[in-house]
Structure 1
Amino acid sequence: MKITGAQIVIECLVEQGVTTVFGYPGGNILNIYDALYQNSDRINHILTAHEQAAAHAADGYARTTGNVGVCMATSGPGATNLVTGIATAYMDSVPVVAITCNVGTPLLGKDTFQEIDITGVTLPITKHNFIVKDVKDLAKTFREAFIIAKSGRPGPVLIDIPKDVTAKSWEFEPLPKGSDGLKDIVAENANFSRVVKVAVPTDEEIKKAAEIINKAERPVIYAGGGVKISGAEKELLEFAEKAQIPVAESLMGRDVFPASHPLCTWMVGMHGTRASNMAVTESDLVLALGSRFSDRVIGDPKKFAEHATVFHIDIDPAEINKNIPVGGQLIGDVKAILTRLLPLIEKHDHKDWLKKVDDWKKEVPACYSEVKADAINPKFMLETVHKYAGDEAYITTEVGQHQMWTAQFYPFGKPRRFVTSGGLGTMGFGTGAAMGIQVAHPEDRVVHIAGDGSFRMNCNELCTIARYNLPIVIVLVNNGTLGNVRVWQKLFYDKRYSHTTLDFGPDWGKLADAYGVGYYKAGNNAEFEKVFKEAFESKKPCIVDSRVDIDEMILPMAIPGKPIDDQMMSWDN
């Protein structure tokens, strides 16, 4: 059938199973928006207040469903407003397809109104990007984009389409039922096969890896976000239990292993637990699964696990030996590799080693249990959220102290329930992500933990939350400061708090009222439990304004660049 380029876009999205897109219209993308209007029964469009939130919403949608998230924007500033969201997805390996529409092909390169070379801008932060200058290439490009986004190590792909291409007509041939078009695409483009191919270790390589693991006396698993992307949580649990190996998690892997399990040591790194950091430091084998050895995890690279063999399992060969030299490696899908390793792994008890790890678990900062009359304890806050939200709720965060407290204190019991910006550390990410998650899971609950500094960057999305009646509970961690930055100013800048104190508006209650969302306020632990319970049970969009002391620290803390076992466990003002 002969249809317009805009209609081809719709048909390709439906073909890929897309039911929801997030975006914001503009002049050069109007043909696609007109096609969306005519196909509103097939594709749901969520209008955000800002294009960046559309990208974050697509990101949150993708992280919790495992499907490709889709966002769209017009040319020029519409396209550039997606950039931070695309970069966030790139750093955290999230499959997102971003669709932008540019000025017409005859106008490209002429500094036309609202023209931007968005493929040039996003080249370093996408797995691949395209500009489609001929309508006959449109369907093929969309099919490639979705395959690239979700294959191998996932990531974002951008498709830029000049306006005239969306208006021209071409013969559209749907894919045969049950086909993803991969075979044809690979056949047409020999280089493309390198993008989608995933390495498969040999039986001999698997056997040698099992021998190394079986010989270890003080092993620890360092579980990263790749476990979640691979869907290997069940295999990880079986593996750890069979070999009796403690599991330390990265920030991105905080929900891949049940927090209540005796083998779980929670987060590792700068703000990791004493048990995780000491287990890595004293281990003789660090088995890294789907992790990238971020600087926030390793501290001083020369001192990281210096007595251990580091064995790295990852789908991306570029990660091997990138930040930490390894003594062994398996390149491939984590789930597939753990499945093959499991029968070869011997049962162990590692009794003495686990006793040592359990002793480290008892080393916690005193501030965990401090109660102040005029402020809320962050540990109490997160445990109270879990008390009412439970394991089923999705928890999102912005970036800062509240993010680290969530990672430290929320006892995640199920996978894909924790969504945060890890690699890029994007303030302004969480509200958009929460919206995308709530749209993807309308029957489930979403609680968004937001620092007052971060929330200033995206509070305009309250209008989106209200318009679509998304029952998101926003716990506003209100300490009147850019908390993480203030901590660094306290430690390294002799308490010169340059432009980090937020002692000026807005009035959050009036803002909530203006947007038509509920508002609750709490100044201490007892008040917080009372109002959070009420807010959560209301099943309506609302803000819980929660007062936290301006000088509350994130402890433990390893000083950047120092060994991760050299942790501050207390702070005297």
Structure 2
Amino acid sequence: MAETVGDYVLRRLREWGVEQVFAYPGDGINGIVAAFGEADDRPRFIQSRHEEMSAFEAVGYAKFSGRVGVCMATSGPGAIHLLNGLYDAKLDHVPVVAIVGQTERSAMGGAYQQEVDLQSLFKDVASEFLVEVNVPEQLPNAIDRAFRTAMTRRAPTAIIIPSDLQTESYSPPGHAFKEVPSSPPGLAAPTMVPPESEIARAAAVLNAGRKVAILVGQGARAAAMEVEQVADVLGAGVAKALLGKDVLSDELPFVTGSIGLLGTRPSYEMMRDCDTLLMVGTNFPYTQFLPGLDQARAVQIDLDGTLIGMRYPVEVPLVGDARSTLQALLPRLSGPTDRAWRETIEGNVSGWWDTMQREAMVDADPINPMRIVWELSERIPLNAIVTSDSGSAANWYARHLRIRGDIRGSLSGTLATMGPAVPYAIGAKFAHPDRPAIAITGDGAMQMNGMAELLTIARYADRWSDRRLVVCVLHNNDLNQVTWELRAMGGAPKFEESQVLPDVSYADFARGLGLEAITVRTPDELGPAWDRVLAADRPAVLDVHCDPEVPPIPPHATFDQARSAARAVLTGDPEAFHLVTQGIKTKIQEALPGRKG
């Protein structure tokens, strides 16, 4: 039989090394779906429960594999559903290729069923590359540019293929006028080093510093060893943007942890007191958590020059990849002989982890949510992949999960959308089927889409050599982060009609799907429950009933935030007494003897 356009699309994906496509079927992609059957499911068609989940799974796969994630959806509503996941990829700089169907060419412009102007729909989210293919000869160049652009620009791209074209015979572009050829798939990662004169200028700024702070993001991941060496030479501390949480081990005594609203006190104090700032591979957005604008001299390294100087006045901008640039910089660095700054940072870090343990062990009703992540951190496999949802779960992930060994972790860092933790973990399992994955999610996100994706987990678990995928649900029947934002930012009491969630047993639901499932209602059950799910031979759900009134207050909360929260209490918050009690019990841990620095 002649090769169809659908057949060719899958052949080209295989040539790009694509092993699975996260997708949901529909008649707008019937020609490609049929091609999967003819190709013996190569690449594999991974069916989610919703197209948005397909996009999130592709993002999770890309984040944890370092390769391009591919998602697919039908025309009209299917394509629309992809958008949230693709925006997550765009804002977190993740390479994803979306392939979407379109109504037949003969019906275009005729207000046909499910006809949507997909080029207008995708022109922002796939602004780096978006193409509609209308003849077979376009295909090689369209697919290859989508992949090369996604990889080079670290962005989502999209290819629109009308449904009738998918079943036509494929014919390659010729050596002819207005036909565009392509090249064999493949692209090496770029290596860029700034000019030697700029390296010298940067070294002069850093060497002059006596209190150097380093901030790393996900762009520094391939340069972890070099960041550690630079920090040692300069006597610096290293803070981590949330997307860079897994760049350096938290066992290093000078790593101050996360920064920002979900950050740590040592990171806050280091930025407050430093005189020099080195930023590597980060686009951390919250300027107020960086040094004062006239306080520190700054050097920034980023592969994308358009992102340099956006968040802080930079004296020396270095456009280059983090590893090569730091390697060029290291021989020119000479740190201070006085290590008092470094010793202060290390003392603060040590004291902070002691404080975090005390806060996690504060009694709550029924369980302190901090303790959920602390107990995980005490026993997590050193090759685990951890995903977190947005909301209060992200607070505990950011502050209490201690990165070490080969642990990887991520969340929706910039879009901060609800719902990606479970599909991210599914994508991670397809990237690394031999490693355990752990999704930390709130019950709001679990009800939004996580429960449905438990079906996807149950369906595909036998494809993973290590079947451990643990979904830990912070079960408090409250849309907790927004509840606290109402209190702290708006000075408004909790509005129960918008915030309270219907109660459901996530463990019972999971058990009905054949998954391991445990309900935890007391603190003493928590550690053994983690031991059990981490030793299970199948995916598991840990349904932990926890206290919604444990405050996710930053360690550097402002007076205005505290005053707003107090006003919320005084104006009739339904949990006023309990939340005040929990706040006092938690925050007093920071003032207990033993805190260093």
**How high is the TM-score relative to the length of structure 1?**
0.90
Match of 2:132 in 1: 131
Whole-angstrom distance in 2 between the partners of 1:203 and 1:91: 32
Asked whether the 8 Å contact 1:299–1:560 carries over to 2, the reply is no
Over the matched positions of the two proteins, sequence identity in percent amounts to: 29
1:540 Cα deviation (Å)? Answer: 1.3
1:365 Cα deviation (Å)? Answer: 6.9
Match of 1:299 in 2: 288
Asked whether the 8 Å contact 2:390–2:412 carries over to 1, the reply is yes
C-alpha change, 1:95 and 1:415, in structure 2 (3 Å) is farther
Match of 1:189 in 2: none
C-alpha change, 1:531 and 1:503, in structure 2 (3 Å) is same
Whole-angstrom distance in 2 between the partners of 1:465 and 1:342: 45
Asked whether the 8 Å contact 2:191–2:320 carries over to 1, the reply is yes
Match of 1:504 in 2: 502
Q: How does 1:482-561 map to 2 (within 5 A)?
A: 482-491=479-488, 492-558=490-556
1:219-256 per-position Cα deviation (integer Å, ceiling 9, x unaligned)? 1101112113xx22222222222332110001111110
Whole-angstrom distance in 2 between the partners of 1:448 and 1:488: 23
Whole-angstrom distance in 2 between the partners of 1:475 and 1:145: 36
1:262-313 per-position Cα deviation (integer Å, ceiling 9, x unaligned)? 1100011122111101111111111111111313xx3378x64541112221
Match of 2:583 in 1: 571
Determine helix, strand or coil for the equivalent of 2:72. strand
Asked whether the 8 Å contact 1:49–1:464 carries over to 2, the reply is yes
Whole-angstrom distance in 2 between the partners of 1:182 and 1:526: 52
Match of 1:440 in 2: 431
Q: How does 1:366-377 map to 2 (within 5 A)?
A: 368-372=359-363, 374-377=365-368
The letter for the 2-side match of 1:96 is V
Whole-angstrom distance in 1 between the partners of 2:98 and 2:344: 48
Given candidates 329, 340, 343, the residue that maps to 1:355 is 343
2:339 is the counterpart of 1:339: no
2:189 is the counterpart of 1:202: no
C-alpha change, 1:436 and 1:181, in structure 2 (3 Å) is closer
Asked whether the 8 Å contact 1:200–1:332 carries over to 2, the reply is yes
Match of 2:594 in 1: none
Q: How does 1:172-183 map to 2 (within 5 A)?
A: 172=172, 179-180=184-185
1:198 Cα deviation (Å)? Answer: 7.6
Asked whether the 8 Å contact 1:256–1:416 carries over to 2, the reply is no
Gaps of 5+ in 2: 175-180, 462-466, 567-579, 586-597
Match of 1:84 in 2: 84
Given candidates 258, 265, 268, the residue that maps to 1:267 is 258
Match of 1:479 in 2: 476
Provide the aligned C-alpha RMSD in A: 2.9
1:409-456 per-position Cα deviation (integer Å, ceiling 9, x unaligned)? 111114671021000011111111111111221111001111111111
C-alpha change, 1:304 and 1:547, in structure 2 (3 Å) is farther
Whole-angstrom distance in 1 between the partners of 2:296 and 2:518: 50
Whole-angstrom distance in 1 between the partners of 2:125 and 2:548: 35
Whole-angstrom distance in 1 between the partners of 2:484 and 2:334: 45
Given candidates 465, 470, 492, the residue that maps to 2:457 is 465
Higher relative CO (CA 8 A, sep ≥ 6), structure 1 or 2?
Answer: 1
Asked whether the 8 Å contact 1:299–1:562 carries over to 2, the reply is no
The letter for the 1-side match of 2:79 is A
1:261 Cα deviation (Å)? Answer: 0.1
Asked whether the 8 Å contact 2:201–2:316 carries over to 1, the reply is no
The letter for the 2-side match of 1:463 is L
Asked whether the 8 Å contact 2:212–2:234 carries over to 1, the reply is no
Asked whether the 8 Å contact 1:52–1:81 carries over to 2, the reply is yes
Match of 2:316 in 1: 328
Whole-angstrom distance in 2 between the partners of 1:197 and 1:535: 41
1:121 Cα deviation (Å)? Answer: 1.5
Whole-angstrom distance in 2 between the partners of 1:77 and 1:240: 50
1:380 Cα deviation (Å)? Answer: 2.8
Q: How does 1:220-235 map to 2 (within 5 A)?
A: 220-228=213-221, 231-235=222-226
1:7 Cα deviation (Å)? Answer: 1.2
C-alpha change, 1:529 and 1:370, in structure 2 (3 Å) is closer
Q: How does 1:384-463 map to 2 (within 5 A)?
A: 384-414=375-405, 417-458=408-449, 459-463=451-455
Gaps of 5+ in 1: 184-195
**How high is the TM-score relative to the length of structure 2?**
0.86
1:525 Cα deviation (Å)? Answer: 2.3
Whole-angstrom distance in 1 between the partners of 2:383 and 2:556: 32
C-alpha change, 1:346 and 1:178, in structure 2 (3 Å) is farther
Asked whether the 8 Å contact 1:223–1:249 carries over to 2, the reply is yes
Whole-angstrom distance in 1 between the partners of 2:558 and 2:96: 32
1:369 Cα deviation (Å)? Answer: 4.4
Whole-angstrom distance in 2 between the partners of 1:473 and 1:51: 22
1:138 Cα deviation (Å)? Answer: 0.7
The count of residues paired between Structure 1 and Structure 2 equals 552
Whole-angstrom distance in 1 between the partners of 2:319 and 2:356: 39
Asked whether the 8 Å contact 1:2–1:171 carries over to 2, the reply is no
Whole-angstrom distance in 2 between the partners of 1:166 and 1:560: 58
Given candidates 185, 207, 216, the residue that maps to 2:209 is 216
1:327-354 per-position Cα deviation (integer Å, ceiling 9, x unaligned)? 2211121122112112222254551112
Asked whether the 8 Å contact 1:218–1:350 carries over to 2, the reply is no
Whole-angstrom distance in 1 between the partners of 2:555 and 2:120: 39
Whole-angstrom distance in 1 between the partners of 2:15 and 2:357: 56
Asked whether the 8 Å contact 2:23–2:45 carries over to 1, the reply is yes
Q: How does 1:63-142 map to 2 (within 5 A)?
A: 63-126=63-126, 127-142=128-143
C-alpha change, 1:415 and 1:254, in structure 2 (3 Å) is farther
Asked whether the 8 Å contact 2:141–2:182 carries over to 1, the reply is no
